Chains A and B, each alone.
Chain A
Amino acid sequence: MLGLRDAIPALIATGTWGLVTGIAIVKSGIGETLATLMTLFVYAGSAQLTALPLIKEGVPLWLIFAAGFVVNIRFLIFGAALQPFFRHLSWPKRLGVGFFSTDIGFVLFMGRYGEARRRPDPRHLWYYLGIIGPGWLTWNACSIAGIYLAAAIPASWSLEFAAILALLSVVIPLVSTRPVAICILAAACVAWLGQGLPLRLGLVAAVVAGIVAGVLSERLSKEVSRK
């Protein structure tokens, strides 16, 4: 219950974001049934929105996999941080905790129990479930509502642009340090120049450029502060 209470403000954002994603999937030309399947199975807003322009273009599936994987890489890092708290659980339970993990769940959990020394502690699991359970319900309910409302929304509203803005609203708050800003700047330049390349190789190049630029500027700023 504590988890649910902490998660309520975030649930409003989750719901709206789910609604926008649901509408965007249908507006990109995917039918309602497949769109519902996508929401239930993939359960990853930014990966879904990232995949939409790629699916529309009909790129090879491996590229959709690669793009989705890279956007989801943050979960690998969250997983590495959460794993010590839940390692005592049986593997089906760990699979469940992992698959239903969310960004918000991670942030709230680490904020409350990140420093906890007593492990395992049953409160950890219940708190986490209190965040991710309602999160799953809210996301899917709003997403499916969006999918079936989409037909009532005229194409001239260009709501697919809202999906791009939604992605932008994920990126911009990340710009909190100089290395992240430089990473995004480098990725943006390479993505702009490379958009004519086949197979969306410009996207792959942008990811590589962004990581290299971020790591280099992180090293540089450390050296400068040491002097």
Chain B
Amino acid sequence: MMLDERGWYVLGAILVLTLCSLLTRAGYMLLGDYLPLPDGLRRALRYAPAAALTGIIVPEVLPWQMGDVPTLDVRAVAAVFAIVVYWKTRNSLLMIGGGMVAYWLIRPWWPF
């Protein structure tokens, strides 16, 4: 397979992500006897994944640009609908499906 510059970049990304998986999943299994994790740090780290995922989602559903008036993206509306679906059904798959259907239905009518 021939790789262009972009291909090498993606391959690099795959390698660093593989390293992430190895370090986080197997790191403690391998070195746990030498690496006590202080209780305070352990509790603080519990919040990291939720914060990181939120940090990825929010700019995707509520984008704004310097100089523009922020508008409400149709994705934000669909995401709120998806949350309501989850709240009512406690089912993640229905949540993803419901959010997609809401997105498809609202998008043609959305003023922005």
Contacts and interface: CB of A to CB of B under 8 A. Distances in A.
- A and B pair up: yes
B53 A50 contact: yes
Q: Is the interface of A mostly helix, strand, loop or mixed?
A: helix
Interface residues of B, number: 66
A94 B29 CA distance: 6
A54 to B, nearest CB: 8
B17 interface: yes
- Secondary structure of the B side of the interface? helix
B106 to A, nearest CB: 12
A84 B29 CA distance: 9
A150 interface: no
Contacts, number: 272
Interface in A202-227: 202-203, 206-211, 213-215, 218
B100 A65 contact: no
B30 A170 contact: no
A89 to B, nearest CB: 9
Interface residues of A, number: 94
A33 B53 CA distance: 27
Contacts of A91: 30
B29 A95 contact: yes
B75 A161 contact: yes
